[in-house]
Structure 1
Amino acid sequence: MSEKRCYTVQELQEILGVSRPTVYNLLKKTDRYWLVHKNVFESKEIAGKMRINIASFEKWYANQIKYHKVTGEELGKELKAWSYSVPEMARLLGLTRSQVYQILRNPKYSHFFETIVIAEKKRITKESFQKFLEGQDLFHLDPANDYEELAQEQNIVLANFRRKKLSQTGVRGSNGNLGYLTFDEASYLAKVSRSLINKWET
């Protein structure tokens, strides 16, 4: 049996959790065809009926935050991998949303940021957020977000470095711990190149 490659518009409606009795209240027929005709999916007509390419639908689903599958599958996985919402940025900095919007509008900081609007919500690219952290000294990652071991780190410079690294990679294992430093941490604290640290180690 060949692999299924397309959805019908009706299947799309069901996948996004809209039953036939509630279609006109939750996702009107015109809305579901609007999604197709807006070219967010690859689609074509077969025997007079619209078909949506499954791979293109999954790509769209991973990069949007408005529509949910009935299966509960996380939406916007790819989008969240490279961008932050304003509430997420506020949590990371320990600020209110209004303070974050002030930062985004402030000419002193606005040049750091690359933003996009998804479902009428502003998002900030993680790369530009990292440039903001490294390009100014007033705002820092909020220690309230630290995992237990990072909260115990007494060296403030090292703790801030690890917070930035964690926000960049999302991987706690990329940081050292109370017992050892990574090569990147050692080179940062010693203010020498990573290659020199490697020579010292060997």
Structure 2
Amino acid sequence: MEEPKKRTSMSVREMGRLLGLGKTESYYLVKKNYFKVITVGTTMRVMIPSFEEWYANQSFYKKVDGPEPGSQLKLTSVSAEELGTLLGISEASAYDLIAKGHFERIEVLGKMRISNESFWKWYATQSIYRTLEDQAKDSEKMESTLRMPEIARMLGIHRNQVYDIVKRANLETIQIGRYKCVTKDSFYHWYESQSRYTLKPDAQTKGRSE
């Protein structure tokens, strides 16, 4: 038994119902030439493969009952909202970043997006902003380190003195995101080798187990 042939086109009305649109907006999309339309007799028909390609490359129109739009679009670009989610910041802060000209802008159906390529190029040049994934990794690394303000509080000294100690004692430091940190092992090794500085009582209760 032969399998039924797969449909290659649909009427403009079917396309409109698929997107939850009325007649006027359905024909508006047709006139914009977003996808291939053919005329059979006196009837216009929307070519399904072309329609699906358009659907995967935009995020404004959504099917009433179907997959989310923009599956291909999201592989190459992100919206301000998606940028905010990626970095764990508000959408307003994401717009501020975009306004500074860090990224290549792309307009899709009147909506502004930025290219993924330009985002990752920018991301590699700075350490202030971190993706949620990298923030999680940073948290794990932080557990084995101490930040300069932490050491200052632990010793009851000014932060500038901490930088001097780090330099003179050649303590092991690592960069985690925007922070320069001292490894706990090198700090406590230095601490036990000197007698000038004393840990504050609350810091002594934490010790190496931090």
- The TM-score normalised by the length of structure 2 is 0.59
Identity %: 34
Which structure has the greater CA radius of gyration? Answer: 2
User: 1:134: which partner in 2?
Assistant: 124
- Distance (whole Å) between structure 1 residues aligned to residue 175 and residue 68 of structure 2: 34
CA contact (8 A) 2:16 2:22 kept: no
1:5 and 2:4 matched: no
| Residues 56-86 of structure 1, C-alpha deviations (whole Å, 9 max, x = no match) | 0000111111222222312111111221111
User: 1:152: which partner in 2?
Assistant: 140
Deviation (angstroms), 1:159: 7.5
Deviation (angstroms), 1:93: 2.2
- Give the aligned CA root-mean-square deviation in angstroms: 2.7
1:78 and 2:72 matched: yes
Deviation (angstroms), 1:2: 3.2
| Residues 163-192 of structure 1, C-alpha deviations (whole Å, 9 max, x = no match) | xxxxxxxxxxxxxxxxxxxxxxxxxxxxxx
* More strand by percentage: 2
1:30 and 2:24 matched: yes
CA contact (8 A) 1:92 1:145 kept: no
- Distance (whole Å) between structure 2 residues aligned to residue 158 and residue 39 of structure 1: 51
- Distance (whole Å) between structure 2 residues aligned to residue 31 and residue 65 of structure 1: 16
Which structure 1 segments of 5+ residues have no match? 18-26, 161-202
Q: Secondary structure at the match of 2:123?
A: helix
- Distance (whole Å) between structure 2 residues aligned to residue 36 and residue 8 of structure 1: 11
The amino acid of 1:81's aligned partner reads: L
* More helix by percentage: 1
**Corresponding residue to 1:99 among 82, 93, 97:** 93
- Distance (whole Å) between structure 2 residues aligned to residue 136 and residue 150 of structure 1: 15
- Distance (whole Å) between structure 2 residues aligned to residue 78 and residue 8 of structure 1: 24
Flag the 1:151–1:7 CA change in 2: closer, same or farther, 3 A.
Answer: farther
**Corresponding residue to 2:106 among 94, 106, 116:** 116
CA contact (8 A) 1:85 1:123 kept: yes
Q: Secondary structure at the match of 2:129?
A: coil
- Distance (whole Å) between structure 1 residues aligned to residue 75 and residue 50 of structure 2: 18
For 1:38-57, list aligned pairs within 5 A: 38-57=32-51
- The TM-score normalised by the length of structure 1 is 0.62
